[in-house]
Amino acid sequence: MIVVLAIDALEYDLVKKFHCRNLMQKFYGKTDISEFSEPRTMVLWSSFMTGMNIEHEILSLGDNGMWNARVENKRTFFSNFVNPAVFDLPGYNYETLHHEEERKLLKKFFDAKHDSEKESVRQSYNRLAFDHHKKIKNNFTKALKESHDLVLGYFSIADVIGHLNFGNAFLMKMIYRDLDEIAGGIDSPFLVLSDHGMKPIGFFGDHSSYGFWSSGEYDLGEPKITDFKKIILDLFHEQRAV
């Protein structure tokens, strides 16, 4: 079984700061996403699964349309697997209604005029994100015990919560701890990959211009996000050969 922890906005500096040993594994580093015009979630994950930079194709769907993007299975490396389990991956089987609700609340927060209203929206937004996180975590953990040849869990919590709460370092630390515990519960070889990191903008968080990777077996240097299709397939073939 190949396992991929796909974590949105997992920030290299915070993984180090919070000593997330399971997320770091033996080898870890930053990914190079400089070929993309901006660190956009849908663009980056779509490019990851196809092994190609498809920024132009995704952006052509427009600001609203790109959130509904669905890359065909045959174009992704998932088609090389017999029984893959992929959860909530942007551009593939992203739970669009849920994430749309998050984006609506985010807009409502910034549109709100009064602090009390902002705080109320923030709480609803956080609750929605945490509930979704727990659901994905359960599904992912369950899948690890089943007979899949690939398990890929996409966790959006660090990104969603980070956008509104990046200045709450304790909250971010607890989220990173939880993600680290998820990594610690994986028995098979696994890769950790983020699309981009996160940098502070006042109390809020915005996407940073590099991602994070880690591996228990190989030093990957400073890979591009599109390199991971080959990396994962090589690992898979290696595993099958053994």
Partner 1 sequence: MDDNALKLVIVGHVDHGKSTLIGRLLFDTGSLPEDKIIEIRQICSSLGKEFEFGFILDNLEEERDQGITIDTTQIFFNSNIRKYVIIDAPGHVEFVKNMITGASQAEAATVIIDAEEGVKEQTKRHAYILSMLGIQNILVLINKMDRVGYDQNRFNEVKKSFIDFLNDIKLNAIHFIPISANQGDNVVKKSENISWYHGPTFLEALDSIPAKQTFRDNPLRFSVQDVYNFSTRIIAGKVISGVLHQNDDILILPSGERTHIRSLEEYMKNPTEAETGKCIGVTTTDKVFCDRGYIFTDPHNAPKVTHTFCANIFWMDKKSCKKDQPVIFRCSTQESRGTIINFHTVINSSSLELIGENSDEIHNREVARVTIQTDIPVIVEEYSKTAELGRFVLVTDDISAGGIITEVFP
Site for partner 1, rule CB under 8 A: 126-127, 130, 133-134, 137, 167, 169-171, 173-175, 178
> Nearest approach, Cβ of 34 to partner 1 (angstroms)?
30
d(CA 116, CA 217): 49
Query: Whose Cβ is closer to partner 1: residue 14's or residue 235's?
Result: 14
- Torsions phi, psi of 197, nearest 5? -100, -155
- Torsions phi, psi of 150, nearest 5? -145, 130
> Nearest approach, Cβ of 166 to partner 1 (angstroms)?
11
Listed in sequence order, the DSSP H helices in the chain are: 12-17, 21-24, 41-50, 55-59, 62-65, 96-111, 115-144, 157-165, 169-184, 228-241
> Nearest approach, Cβ of 181 to partner 1 (angstroms)?
9
CA-based nearest residue to 46, from 95, 91, 85, 110? 91
> Nearest approach, Cβ of 217 to partner 1 (angstroms)?
26
Query: Whose Cβ is closer to partner 1: residue 203's or residue 218's?
Result: 203
Query: Whose Cβ is closer to partner 1: residue 167's or residue 216's?
Result: 167
Q: Which value, in Å, is the radius of gyration of the alpha carbons in the chain?
A: 17
Query: Whose Cβ is closer to partner 1: residue 30's or residue 133's?
Result: 133
> Nearest approach, Cβ of 155 to partner 1 (angstroms)?
12
Query: Whose Cβ is closer to partner 1: residue 75's or residue 98's?
Result: 98
> Nearest approach, Cβ of 138 to partner 1 (angstroms)?
9
- Look up residue 7 and give its two tokens: 């974590």
Query: Whose Cβ is closer to partner 1: residue 107's or residue 134's?
Result: 134
- Look up residue 40 and give its two tokens: 């956009």
Q: 203 CB contacts (<8 Å, ≥6 apart)?
A: 165, 166, 167, 168
CA-based nearest residue to 21, from 219, 179, 197, 221? 179
Give me the residue label for tokens 């996180």. 133
> Nearest approach, Cβ of 8 to partner 1 (angstroms)?
17
Query: Whose Cβ is closer to partner 1: residue 59's or residue 128's?
Result: 128
Query: Contact 96/88 with Cβ under 8 angstroms?
Result: no
- Look up residue 52 and give its two tokens: 């190609």
